[in-house]
Amino acid sequence: MKKVLLTFVMILMVGVLAACSDGEKNPKEATTKEGEAAGDSGAQTIKVVFKDDGPSNPVAVSYYEKLSEGLKKDLDLDVKFDLVEVAQGDYAEKLNLLLYSGEIPDLIYFQGADKQIADQGLLEDLTPYIEDSKYIKSIMNPYNEARLRNYPYLLWIKPLDNRVPVVRKDWFDQASSSATLMENPTVDNYKAFFKEIVQIGDTKNAVTVAGDIRELDYTFDMAFGINKTWLDSEKGFEHYKVSSQTKDKLEFYRQLYEEGLLDPQYLTKKHDTKQEVFYNGETAVIPGTNGKVIDIYNDRMRVLNGEESQLQVLPPAKGEYQGFGATDISKESRGLAISSQSKNKDLVFQVLDYLASPEGQKLDRLGFEGEHYNVVDGKVELTEKYYGDWYARYWEPNNVEFEVAESTPLLGDAAEKSLLSVADYYSEDNSFVLPEEYVAQWDAMENLYKEYSADIITGKKPLEAFDDYVKKWYAAGGESLTKYANDNLK
């Protein structure tokens, strides 16, 4: 009965969505003046849904007001933005409930669960818009271009979100093993460094992560030979999570755990508690997202522990390969989409393209003049409020066309080094978007991996239990998925 009811509800939802469709998919169609704001004769309204940027957020309201002013001044476009509030909770889930209710904004930010919307033809193919763009096509990264070819509905021009390990520089400078680690960051040299850094910092452990080992994998996967999702073996393509390479990696993590180097409470850590134990000296090393996040960690550490505690970025472990993991190019995992039902599609993309222009970037990257930055002698000087509060909502290209004062850089040394390090080790993955018929099976297979990897690392199960896990993984759907991979991967 539950299945019948669920099917009926989904059919009803699709019907509501389909009923909203009355526009063509031609990207060159003329925009309309639908949604004209009261008192703004001639203004065209774009409805936007963006995580945390509802009308209850005063900074977001100011941001879109200033964006409207910039569009009018620089492009003579009279545009108003109608911000949609998303209910608190899981954003992907709440957003889809909003969309299934029939309210489909013109511009939509997704953070997961977009494919089922795209599969219903409700998201616009961005390819022709980008080809004709003035600015966006020139700021895209190779991985943006590859992802767009594979999945043309989402765009997210940001640095890669790889995790890089960081440590306090004052402790790093005291460690005799630091130079060896930087010159030859083998797994064994990493372990030696971990042991020494615990003694120098008098910490409880060497490294912690937030809840599972994925953050640690960015540093160690490639050293163990895990350079792609599907490894090329004698039997064909094999998923790395059932490979001998993963078994060897789990054995290494188990050793770190047994020797007190890996936080014994890592499974219960959240991102905020992970950061807290790093700042207060209970752990020596944490992985952080390269770029802005490393800057936030660095600034907070210096405030709490003094200037000498600024952060040092550590290299990826070196072994069979070296790097911070292969980059998934199957699709953007998050990003901006244009509704195929919008009557303002050209206008929406004009806004996105403007945000990639020098004028748009000045707002998006720097914030509000007089509050987040000032212009002194032709150079941008960032304020403390910028460092504490501001982030780019839309695009973060590698280069900007405004000059920032050396005394107030967009990113500090550690953050800049983290970006460069990730870029230096860039390589592409061979993962693919999971077909719908495998989704439920994949969830079960993932749960098996999480259970067995946690139990093996913490000693609840012996290392040999990995072989039992592999059998269960294949039985839970891995066999058919592996066949699919071998039939479709080149």
The answer to which of 3-12, 51-60, 215-224, 411-420 has the lowest mean pLDDT is 3-12
Are 237 and 358 in the same domain?
Answer: no
Expressed in angstroms, the distance from the first to the final Cα of the chain is: 43
pLDDT given at position 27: 40
Which helix H or strand E contains 58, and what residues bound it? Answer: helix 58-75
Are 137 and 172 in the same domain?
Answer: no
* Cα 369 versus chain centre, distance: 28
pLDDT tens per residue across span 86-139: 999 999 999 999 999 988 999 999 999 999 999 999 999 999 999 999 999 999
pLDDT(32) > 50:
no
CA–CA gap between residue 62 and residue 67 (Å, rounded)? 9
pLDDT(450) > 90:
yes
Give 389's pLDDT tier (boundaries 50, 70, 90).
confident
pLDDT tens per residue across span 223-261: 999 999 999 998 899 999 999 999 999 999 999 999 999
User: Does residue 477 lie within any of the structural domains?
Assistant: no
User: For residues 366 and 372, is the Cβ–Cβ distance under 8 A?
Assistant: yes
User: For residues 285 and 167, is the Cβ–Cβ distance under 8 A?
Assistant: yes
User: Does residue 187 lie within any of the structural domains?
Assistant: yes
**Summary mean pLDDT of the chain:** 91
The percentage of the chain sitting over the pLDDT mark of 70, rounded to a whole number, equals: 92
User: Does residue 449 lie within any of the structural domains?
Assistant: no
Are 135 and 210 in the same domain?
Answer: no
Rounded to an integer, the average pLDDT of 278-282 is 98
CA–CA gap between residue 209 and residue 267 (Å, rounded)? 8
pLDDT given at position 387: 86
Are 321 and 375 in the same domain?
Answer: no
Specify the pairing of strand 283-289 against strand 205-207.
Answer: parallel
Are 71 and 167 in the same domain?
Answer: no
Are 73 and 134 in the same domain?
Answer: yes
Are 244 and 99 in the same domain?
Answer: no
Which helix H or strand E contains 163, and what residues bound it? Answer: strand 163-168
pLDDT given at position 241: 98
* CATH number, residue 258: 3.40.190.10
Are 211 and 299 in the same domain?
Answer: yes
Strand order through the sheet with 335-338: 79-83, 44-49, 107-110, 335-338
Q: How many CB atoms lie within 10 A of CB 186?
A: 15
The answer to which of 14-18, 99-103, 262-266 has the lowest mean pLDDT is 14-18
- Quote the crossing angle between the two packed helices 465-473 and 439-457, to the nearest 10°: 180
Look up residue 428 and give its two tokens. 């592409």
pLDDT(318) > 50:
yes
Q: Could you list the residue range(s) of the whole structural domain that residue 43 is in?
A: 9-159+331-399
pLDDT given at position 28: 37
Residues in CB range of 231: below 8 A, 6 or more apart? 225, 237, 238, 239, 240, 243, 245
Which residues, listed in sequence order, are joined to residue 285 by a DSSP beta bridge? Answer: 167, 207
